[in-house]
Structure 1
Amino acid sequence: MNNPFENGDRSDDKLPADLRRITGPQLLTLGMSHLAYVKSVMHDGELVVAIHAADGTPMAVAEDEESALDAILEHEMIPTLLQ
C-alpha cells in the first residue's frame, strides 16, 4: 500500500485563539488533516479501496476496506462515513 500520509498535516492556516474570528479558508480546512473516508474504485482493472481526505483528495490505495481503515487509524485520523 502507498503511504497515504507522507505529506503530513494538510492545514496551512493556524486557527485563531478566538474561534469566533475564524476565516472562511480556515473553516474550510478545519479537521481536514484528521478526517478520511474510504471508497471502492477500479485501479488497473482491479477493485481496490481508495483512502480520501475529507475534501475528496485521494491519499492512498489499499487491497481491502479493513487495511484501509487500519491505515487511517494508524495515522491517528478519524474514519468517516459517506452518506
Structure 2
Amino acid sequence: MNQHRSQDFEPLSQQDFLAFGLNDVAYLRDVETEDGVVVGIFAADGTRMAVMKDLSTAAAAVRQNEMEPLSVH
C-alpha cells in the first residue's frame, strides 16, 4: 500500500497548473465576432488556437490533432 503524507507533495505553481493538459485537451466555447457567434478552440492556458463555424466542426478539428475537446459554458 502506498502511504503519502500531505507534505510529500509539492503544490503546483500557477504556471504549472496552466500548463496541465496543455497538449491533451482543448476547450471549446462560443465567441462573438462581427460575423456572429462562432466556436473558439482554446488551449488549457487560455490561448485561442482557432475558430470554427460550429461545435461539431471544432470538436472534429481538436480530435484530428489528437486532443480531447471539452466544452466550456
Q: TM-score, normalised by structure 1?
A: 0.62
Aligned to 1:59: 49
Pick from 42, 45, 49 the counterpart of residue 35 of structure 2.
45
In 2 relative to 1, CA 59–37 (structure 1 residues): closer, same or farther, beyond 3 Å? same
- Give the unaligned 5+ runs of structure 1: 1-19
SS class of match (2:58)? helix
Number of positions where the alignment pairs a residue of Structure 1 with one of Structure 2: 64
8 Å CA contact 2:20–2:44 kept in 1: the answer is no
Q: Larger Cα Rg: Structure 1 or Structure 2?
A: 2
Superposition RMSD in Å: 2.1
Look up the equivalent residue of 2:26 and give its one-letter code: A
1:71 aligns with 2:61: yes
Structure 2 gap segments, 5+ residues each: 1-8
Normalising by structure 2, we get a TM-score of 0.69
Q: Percent identity?
A: 35
Q: Which residue of 2 aligns with 1:82?
A: 72
